Amino acid sequence: MVRIGIGFLGCGNIGCGVYRLLTTYGDQIEKNEGVSFEIRRILVRSPGKKRSWDIPAQLLTDQVQDVLCDPQIDVVMEFMGGEEPASSYMTAALKNGKTVVTANKMALASHWQQIVAAAREYGAGLYYEASVCGAIPIIRAMNDSLQANRITSVMGIINGTTNYILSRMSREGAAYADVLADAQRLGLAEPDPTADVEGYDAAYKLSILSTLAFHRHVPVECVYREGITGVTPLDVQCGKEFGLTLKLLAVAKEEDGRIQARVHPTFVPDSHPLAGVNDAFNAVYVNGHACGEMMFYGRGAGDMPTASALVSDLIKAARTKRHLLPAVSDEPCEMADDWSCVHFVRLLAKDEPGVLSLVSGKLAAHGVSIASMVQKGEPDENGYVQMIFLTHRASERAVRSALAELDGEKVSTCSVIRVEGK
């Protein structure tokens, strides 16, 4: 029997979930896996505060050294969230030879090199399955089950809050602000929703995923990011008429030796597996040269789904003799500054002879070919109509340049939304 002493850094929702899972299912884990866990200390800001699970007062401390320096603590589980002091505490724990298990994508993505270097130098374990997509075993898959593959692309719905909002907008034709307010009322979105709706949360996760997929460090600052605050019901509806579903997609691809990592509203064909991932669910769609396409689907947030990944990491760490660290090269990665995909474009155009040829001519001059086009509804009181088209696969830079040159009295660009999986 392997006996492991654990220290917690933080004990909010996720920490309480781990405490609950270990205290209610620990005996069975011991039987199944031959490892037993003893929670020795829990760092909290206010030891006297009421918690969702009854935790013995003698475990609680407000002194970080009680966790980082206790020789009987083998594994430090970090649930503080945020960049600091979490990343400094994790680095210190690793330097003390302790294994770190964390769900903190922000600290990990922002301080990847420092944290991984400390683990490597001190031979300590670093486990972070819960940092990307909660319960979904995508980190294990990348580091382990898919090792025999050259991964060519990863596309994911990796933020549940935005997927919930977009799913409802799509189902109900509702406006972004109304669904967000509802999600906040239901506790599904934070009072300050910025990290989710502006794509920061997904960008941290994509930095970690793409680093593992392509074996080169993809810093979070190199992830292109656009949130969902500008998404309109009209775009969602027009997309539907083209057989497309709108998602906040995290996309990472390696093409011609360059990596693209981007988070933005994206249409996918209704027939694509990602189109059926709704509400707060997450999914990651991976393409490997040997395995082909596969999709991982499940719950990306919540105390117990996240605890599932954290405790599984704990068991894996406890049963591992020599911890393996991610196989990431020190070579800097070359990021793409342009990419090509199908584009959905919505314009407001004067309904008069020659405007269509003006639009198609300008796009053609930039090498962009139109795949299909519709003019929607009757002209407004000034004689303008909605003109919506899909391009063939084209360079984004070329599409943007053509539209910038078109913008004027007769034509103005309302939206450009990338389409993937077509």
Judged by the rule CB under 6 A, the positions of this chain that interact with ligand HSE are 159-161, 196, 201, 300-301
Closer residue to ligand HSE in complex, CB, 295/385 = 295
* Closest approach of ligand HSE to the CB of residue 279, in Å: 11
* Closest approach of ligand HSE to the CB of residue 36, in Å: 29
Transcribe 314-358 into DSSP letters: HHHHHH-SS------BSSPPPBPS--EEEEEEEEEEE-STTHHHH
Query: 387: buried, middle or exposed (CB in 10 Å: 19+, 13-18, 0-12)?
Result: buried
Closer residue to ligand HSE in complex, CB, 193/421 = 193
Element (H, E) at 120: helix 112-122
Closer residue to ligand HSE in complex, CB, 203/390 = 203
What are φ and ψ of residue 106, in 5° steps?
-65, -50
Amino acid at 191: P
Answer whether 259's CB lies under 8 Å from 334's CB.
yes
Closer residue to ligand HSE in complex, CB, 161/167 = 161
* Closest approach of ligand HSE to the CB of residue 306, in Å: 8
Q: Which residues contact 298 (CB under 8 A, 6 or more apart)?
A: 133, 134, 135, 136, 281, 282, 283, 305
- Give the separation between CA 208 and CA 222, rounded to whole angstroms: 12
Answer whether 324's CB lies under 8 Å from 140's CB.
no
Closer residue to ligand HSE in complex, CB, 198/351 = 198
- SS3 call for 128: coil
* Closest approach of ligand HSE to the CB of residue 243, in Å: 27
* Closest approach of ligand HSE to the CB of residue 218, in Å: 18
Residue found by looking up tokens 């994790």 in the block: 90
Closer residue to ligand HSE in complex, CB, 179/345 = 179
Element (H, E) at 293: strand 292-299
Q: Which residues contact 186 (CB under 8 A, 6 or more apart)?
A: none
* Closest approach of ligand HSE to the CB of residue 232, in Å: 22
* Closest approach of ligand HSE to the CB of residue 164, in Å: 8
Q: Which residues contact 55 (CB under 8 A, 6 or more apart)?
A: 11, 16, 19, 42
- Give the separation between CA 191 and CA 162, rounded to whole angstroms: 14
- Give the separation between CA 61 and CA 16, rounded to whole angstroms: 15
* Closest approach of ligand HSE to the CB of residue 106, in Å: 9
Length, in residues, of the chain = 422
- SS3 call for 234: helix
- What is the C-alpha end-to-end distance of the chain, expressed in Å? 52
- Smallest CA-to-CA distance from 389 within 356, 340, 422 is with 356
Answer whether 299's CB lies under 8 Å from 188's CB.
no
Closer residue to ligand HSE in complex, CB, 64/188 = 188
Closer residue to ligand HSE in complex, CB, 67/228 = 228
Catalytically active residues are: 205
